[in-house]
Amino acid sequence: MIRDPKILSAKLGLTFNNPDLFLMALTHRSAGAKNNERLEFLGDSILGFVIAEVLYDKFPGAPEGVLSRLRANLVNQGSLAELAREHRFGDYLLLGSGELKSGGFRRESILSDALEAVIGALYLDQGIDVCKQWIKGLFQQKVQALSLDNWQKDPKTQLQELMQSKKIDLPEYTLLTMSGLPHEQTFKVKCTIPLLKDPCIGTGVSRKRAEQAAAEKILQLLEKKDQ
């Protein structure tokens, strides 16, 4: 059963003057002619601009090429889908019967498009200043985790090097579940390290992506622990 969009709006800290815009942002093209494709187009451009500005301010000495790659690291499909999953977007998406049967609510492209569509809807509803502040809050942890020393290294590599530097056992990755159709599978992986009592769980469209997601969560927890 699709949950009430108002619940998601509240979780995201958003109150729309025009709730229909938010509903449209969650409507996939498979559900009808009034869908989120145009909002996604708008949100994609706004997101790219806002993140570019954030990175420009955070790394004043970085050349254009590095800034472009940092931006791509933050706003790629996998990164956006991860944020959408954290807020359980899949529970609120309006999909056609075909997409529902094939598990479209788990698909990275649909999740990431919906998140961009919400950005487009927020811009139309409340303007660029409100939109910028919300995007900055949404990406705050991901932006804080970036540095010019580690931006090119994936989370698994970063975590492994951190463990090696502390001379402790390397992370252990355990496959928990693998579900979905052969061409649309979802993997769930557990990552365990000696520094944390509890493991972290990551999901992805491949085992590698799931391991990367779990490693990234571990890194974020360790960063908070050191603060």
Catalytic residue annotation:
44, 116
C-beta neighbour count of 141 within 10 angstroms = 13
Single out the residue of 14, 7, 32 nearest to residue 120, CA to CA.
14
Residues 6+ apart with CB under 8 A from 146: 55, 58, 70, 73, 74
What does each C-alpha distance from 106 to 22, 33, 68, 165, 195 come to in angstroms?
A: 20, 22, 28, 37, 31
